[in-house]
Structure formats: structure tokens, C-alpha cells
């Protein structure tokens, strides 16, 4: 269900009604993508999940994780299992794909309940997971359809559940994601290999569908990226110590300006930065 980074066509126009439920079970909601992916592509979001979401899984009666839209290969789902399993007893990970042929193709990788693969889409196949990772699945949709997909996925979460929806480049060097619960978006995270960017706003092309068209003057996310670029420029002297240190210095500059950053500063050294959604939420976004 992962899409090509070059796919732009809106496949669900705003006037189209969401599919109804099939008799007796939930029909998979969404459309298949090209399914391309690469090993280790989602390492940045996975590292963040391990660092920040393990307590949520440990506290759950059933630590169920859904990987929505794993694509033509199960590699990133299996990597997610490997990264979480040592931290969470009784972990269950279910990879969902809307294309039955892709589910059949990874049958040899099934090891239920630890790892399973099923047909499913935004309705999450009737599951109630604690955590959903949905990466590179909404770029082909228009903004209003993506907002409806958010609502559908969040409504299916189990108690205390979290949806992590985002996008990254083909090699996982640049990524952004939004964390949401049943109340709506909570945070935006930017993550990059600091040596791979000229300035933080290079990540703008990887913004989630909810933000990418709002990176224009007058919108909060544009102001935030401009501030990040300015902080990056101010931290240029730290380049002597390497691009990671410059990234840390730039994020420290943002914090000093009063931007509501979230999480431990230890994450900054990994080329991450998380800010509260309220600081970047679009003006006039679909509800």
C-alpha cells in the first residue's frame, strides 16, 4: 500500500462518499499504491517509536501494533517487529494491505500471533490496535480524503491508542510524521540525516498531506520552517563539530524562541525534532 514518492494524483475527490461496510464484515477502505519500499526505509520513525511509545505498549492488556500499507514486501513490517519485540512482552504486529495478492505473497513470513498479515485498509480490518504505523499511504489522496482517513483510523484505535502517520524519501534519510489519538493530531516530528540537508526546510517536500500544501506565507508551518532555517543558519559555527551538532544547536535555538517542543533533547542528537501540533496546525484545514 506504500506509494511512489512521485505519485500526486488525487484518487478520492472530496465529493466521493466513503465506502459502506460489506455485509458481515468491514470492507477494506482505501486504494492500493505502487507498493515500493526499501529495507531500513522506516528506521527513523521506528527509532522514535521504540524511544517514546514502548510504555504505551507495555501498559496495554494486548500490545497490538498495526503496520498499515507495508507494500509489495514485508521487510519493513518485520523490521518493526524486531525493533519492538525485545522491549514489549507479548507483542503482536499485524501488517495490513488492501491488495490480497500482496498479502498472499508474504504468507511465508506469518508467525501468528507475533506476526501476521491480513487484507485491510483505513478501517484497520476490525482490529483495535494500541499503535498504528501508516507511512507513505496518504500522499496519493487529496487533503480532505486524507483527513477522513485520519478520522477512520483514529476511530478504530483501542483505548489509549496512537496513530503515527507520515512520509519519507525512498532511502529513509528524510521523514516527517504526525502523532494522533482519538482527540486528533498531537505532534509533528521532523527527522533527517543532518548531513543530507542544506537547511531544515528541505524536509518540506516530505510533509504529510495535512501540511504539505500549507507551507506558504501566512500559515503556521511555513513560519515554523522559516524559524528553523534561521536557527540553522545561526548554528553554522557548530558545523566544525559535525552536522548532528549543528542540528542540535538549531533545535536549541527554536526552544529558546519559545516554540513548544516535545520530548527529550536526547532525540535531537538523532536528527529529530518534535513540536506540538497546535504550533503548526493549518489555518482553514478540512475538519
pLDDT tens digits, one per residue of 182-223: 999 999 999 999 999 999 999 999 999 999 999 999 999 999
Task: Assess whether 204 and 169 both reside in one domain.
Answer: no
Q: Are 75 and 39 in contact (CB under 8 A)?
A: yes
φ/ψ of residue 159, rounded to 5: -55, 130
φ/ψ of residue 202, rounded to 5: -60, -25
Averaged pLDDT score across all residues of the chain: 89
Axis-axis angle for helices 43-52, 75-85 (nearest 10): 30
- Which pTM was predicted? 0.87
**Would you say residue 179 has pLDDT above 50?**
yes
Q: Which domain holds residue 245?
A: 195-278
Residue 6 lies in a domain: yes
Residue 287 lies in a domain: no
Residue 190 lies in a domain: no
**Would you say residue 23 has pLDDT above 70?**
no
Residue 16's contacts (CB-CB under 8 Å, 6 or more residues apart) are 145
Task: Assess whether 240 and 105 both reside in one domain.
Answer: no
How many independent structural domains does the chain possess? 2
What is the signed CA dihedral for 214, 153, 42, 14, rounded to 10 degrees? -40
Task: Assess whether 121 and 239 both reside in one domain.
Answer: no
pLDDT tens digit sequence for 228-287 = 999 999 999 999 999 999 999 999 999 999 999 999 899 999 999 999 999 999 997 554
Task: Assess whether 124 and 205 both reside in one domain.
Answer: no
Report percent pLDDT > 90 for the chain: 83
Task: Assess whether 162 and 232 both reside in one domain.
Answer: no
User: Within 10 Å of residue 131's Cβ, how many Cβ atoms?
Assistant: 26
Amino acid at each position: 500500500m506504500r506509494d511512489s514518492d512521485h505519485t500526486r494524483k488525487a484518487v478520492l475527490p472530496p465529493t466521493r462518499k466513503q465506502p459502506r461496510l460489506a455485509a458481515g464484515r468491514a470492507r477494506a477502505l482505501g486504494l492500493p499504491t505502487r507498493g515500493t519500499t526499501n529495507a531500513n526505509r522506516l528506521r527513523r520513525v521506528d527509532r522514535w517509536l521504540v524511544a517514546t511509545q514502548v510504555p504505551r505498549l507495555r501498559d496495554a492488556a494486548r500490545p497490538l501494533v498495526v503496520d498499515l500499507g507495508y507494500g509489495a514486501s514485508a521487510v519493513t513490517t518485520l523490521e518493526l517487529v524486531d525493533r519492538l519485540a525485545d522491549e514489549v512482552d507479548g507483542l503482536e504486529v499485524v501488517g495490513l494491505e488492501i491488495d490480497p495478492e500482496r498479502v498472499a505473497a508474504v504468507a511465508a513470513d506469518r508467525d501468528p500471533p507475533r506476526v501476521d498479515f491480513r487484507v485491510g485498509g483505513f478501517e484497520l480490518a476490525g482490529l483495535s490496535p494500541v499503535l498504528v504505523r501508516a507511512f507513505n499511504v496518504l500522499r496519493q489522496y487529496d487533503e480532505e480524503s486524507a483527513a477522513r482517513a485520519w478520522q477512520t483510523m483514529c476511530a478504530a484505535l483501542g483505548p489509549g491508542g496512537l496513530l503515527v502517520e507520515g512520509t519519507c524519501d525512498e532511502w529513509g534519510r528524510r521523514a516527517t510524521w504526525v502523532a494522533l489519538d482519538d482527540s486528533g493530531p498531537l505532534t509533528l516530528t521532523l527527522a533527517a540525516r543532518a548531513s543530507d540537508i542544506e537547511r531544515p526546510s528541505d524536509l518540506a517536500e516530505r510533509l504529510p498531506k495535512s501540511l504539505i500544501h500549507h507551507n506558504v506565507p501566512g500559515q503556521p508551518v511555513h513560519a515554523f520552517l522559516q524559524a528553523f532555517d534561521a536557527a540553522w543558519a545561526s548554528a553554522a559555527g557548530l558545523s566544525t563539530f559535525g552536522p548532528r551538532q549543528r542540528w542540535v544547536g538549531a533545535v536549541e535555538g527554536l526552544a529558546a524562541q519559545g516554540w513548544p517542543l516535545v520530548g527529550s533533547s536526547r532525540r535531537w542528537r538523532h536528527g529529530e525534532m518534535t513540536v506540538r501540533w497546535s504550533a503548526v496546525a493549518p489555518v482553514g484545514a478540512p475538519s
